[in-house]
Amino acid sequence: MIRINENYGKLASSYLFSTIAKKVREFTEKNPGSDIIRLGIGDVTLPLSPSCIRAFHGAVDEMAEEKSFRGYGPEQGYDFLREAAAEHDFRSRGAAVEGDEIFISDGSKCDTGNFQELFAPDIRIAVPDPVYPVYVDSNVMAGRTGAFREGRYEGLVYLDSTRENGFVPAPPKEKVDLVYLCFPNNPTGAVARREQLAEWVAYARENRALILFDAAYEAYIRDPEIPHSIYEIPGAREVAVEFRSFSKTAGFTGTRCAYTVVPKCCHVYDASGKAVPLHDLWNRRHTTKFNGVSYPVQRAAAAVYTPEGRKEIRGLVDYYLENARIIRERLAAAGYTCTGGDNSPYIWVRTGTDSWKFFDRLLTEARVVTTPGSGFGRCGEGYIRISAFNDRSRVSQAMDRIAALS
Ligand code: PLP
């Protein structure tokens, strides 16, 4: 008899965005022709930049000729992309990362979801609350939690991210082995200052813990005091993995390209306490279960690092940041308290009422789709997340509609 992984039965509900999609579908079925503005899921709307498109086309043409055709590439990614990422994303900021410490993949969702496979079933895990759901659900599926009770899984250590701590939790008093951090944060839009990240690095070093640092929104940081990478913090290379994505940086949500940095000096431990290089473990996992990102996609991603490419993608990100500014200012003028949206494409809005109720009100009365904060965790109750990824005129229209409600 083929039996199921019973851990799947513990999952609290269907994936947050599927639930939202279902609600929107039901609303449009009942109200055909409704003009819905989507500021829910964080998906980009602007096309790939000209440099990326040129490189993409050029690489497709190479695939059409026998002499330049390429079959399987290196699973870890082509050197031209790994080297460019190491140089421009890290070394140019004074963070020491080598090209061969970078693993190119088809997305940070997969990387952040898969990484937990390397660790023992009984490690202690800390996750922020609210949180990008993939970190939690992938550990539930792997059997590292108990049941879901009162909005939380037993066995996880939750790091409350609240107004009181500026949505940046400090390390816990207790010992944990694995910590997920995400800055700029999805969903709150909060960013971590250098000294806050330094506290986490010190905690990880002291406890022989590992930090999984998700920097998918790094390109939105505009405050020069805010670190873009955890490796800007001295001592982080030994205790942290960093996830990066071209999705929100360069509009690759549909094209798919990301990478994970695993420094060679980062160690984890076997049952006897012996240090094991994490790079070797991830390399083994990645080369066994993944066969590389397509050559044209990697060429398109590498174009992001050319002088023109850098200018163009800065323009893309600036466009969404201007949307974010409009959302923040219009909502503040309408009397809402907001955070985020200055170094992040997400605005975290206090609703003063139940998240799903407020979501429903915005959907049915303003025909604007947002994301209920409670879908990201218990501390998200009383908030909604608004995404700046949409056309400027649609963003303004959505703000007119929400302002008219209040
Ligand atoms: N990490 C965070 C915090 C995200 O919000 C997202 C996507 O929304 C991802 C990772 C996934 O990115 P990718 O498109 O590279 O899979």
Burial class of 16 by CB neighbour count within 10 A (0 to 12, 13 to 18, 19+)? buried
In the prediction, which pLDDT does 237 show?
A: 98
User: Using 50, 70 and 90 to split pLDDT, how confident is the model at 41?
Assistant: confident
Q: Pairing between strand 267-269 and 240-245?
A: unpaired
Of all residues in the chain, the percent with pLDDT exceeding 90 is 96
Which positions ≥6 away from 269 have C-beta within 8 Å?
A: 208, 275, 276
Ligand 1 center to 133 CA (angstroms): 10
Residue whose token pair is 């700029």: 184
Ligand 1 center to 183 CA (angstroms): 12
Burial class of 348 by CB neighbour count within 10 A (0 to 12, 13 to 18, 19+)? buried
Ligand 1 center to 302 CA (angstroms): 19
Alpha helices in 222-306 (DSSP H): 247-250, 278-289, 295-302
Overall average pLDDT of the 34-54 stretch = 95
Cβ–Cβ < 8 Å for 177, 123:
yes
Overall average pLDDT of the 262-290 stretch = 98
Alpha helices in 153-233 (DSSP H): 194-207
Mean pLDDT of the chain: 97
Write the pLDDT tens digit of every residue in 316-373: 999 999 999 999 999 999 999 999 999 999 999 999 899 999 999 999 999 999 999 9
Separation in Å, CA 163 to CA 122, 180, 221, 339: 32, 20, 20, 9
Angle at 11 between CA 114 and CA 141, to 5 degrees: 30
Q: Which residues line ligand 1 (CB under 6 A)?
A: 42, 107-109, 112, 132, 182, 186, 214, 216, 245, 247, 253, 258
10 Å Cβ neighbour count for 26?
11
Residues, the chain, total? 406
Mutate which of 20, 103, 115, 132 for ligand 1? The one with the most ligand atoms within 8 Å of its CB, which is 132
Q: Model-level pTM? A: 0.97
Cβ–Cβ < 8 Å for 291, 142:
no
Cα distance between residue 96 and residue 233, in whole Å? 10
| Ranges assigned E (strand) in 16-93 | 37-38
In the prediction, which pLDDT does 224 show?
A: 97
Strand partners, 153: 148
In the prediction, which pLDDT does 324 show?
A: 98
Amino acid sitting at position 3: R
Order of strands, sheet of 258-261, starting from the edge strand that comes earlier in the sequence: 102-105, 258-261, 240-245, 210-214, 178-182, 125-129, 156-160
pLDDT at residue 66 above 90?
yes
Mutate which of 248, 293, 348 for ligand 1? The one with the most ligand atoms within 8 Å of its CB, which is 248
Q: For the chain, which domains are there?
A: 6-47+308-405 (3.90.1150.10), 53-307 (3.40.640.10)
Q: How many CA atoms lie within 13 A of 378 on its CB side?
A: 11
- Nearest CA-CA partner of 100 in 261, 288, 275, 235: 261
Write the pLDDT tens digit of every residue in 89-127: 999 999 999 999 999 999 999 999 999 999 999 999 999
Q: How many CA atoms lie within 13 A of 25 on its CB side?
A: 6
10 Å Cβ neighbour count for 312?
20
Cα distance between residue 211 and residue 347, in whole Å? 25
Separation in Å, CA 391 to CA 12, 13, 345: 33, 31, 13
Cβ–Cβ < 8 Å for 86, 98:
yes
Cα distance between residue 154 and residue 150, in whole Å? 10
In the prediction, which pLDDT does 14 show?
A: 62
Ligand 1 center to 198 CA (angstroms): 24
User: Using 50, 70 and 90 to split pLDDT, how confident is the model at 406?
Assistant: low
341: alpha, beta or left? (left if phi > 0; alpha if psi -120 to 50): left
Residue nearest to atom 11 of ligand 1 (CA): 109
Write the pLDDT tens digit of every residue in 182-238: 999 999 999 999 999 999 999 999 999 999 999 999 999 999 999 999 999 999 999
10 Å Cβ neighbour count for 350?
16
In the prediction, which pLDDT does 18 show?
A: 84
- Nearest CA-CA partner of 377 in 28, 12, 1: 12
Could you say which DSSP state residue 271 is in?
T
Overall average pLDDT of the 22-35 stretch = 94
Cβ–Cβ < 8 Å for 144, 115:
no
In the prediction, which pLDDT does 17 show?
A: 81
Ligand 1 center to 15 CA (angstroms): 14
Of all residues in the chain, the percent with pLDDT exceeding 70 is 99
Residue nearest to atom 3 of ligand 1 (CA): 186
- Nearest CA-CA partner of 344 in 232, 134, 190: 190
Q: Which atom of ligand 1 is nearest to the CA of 248?
A: 14
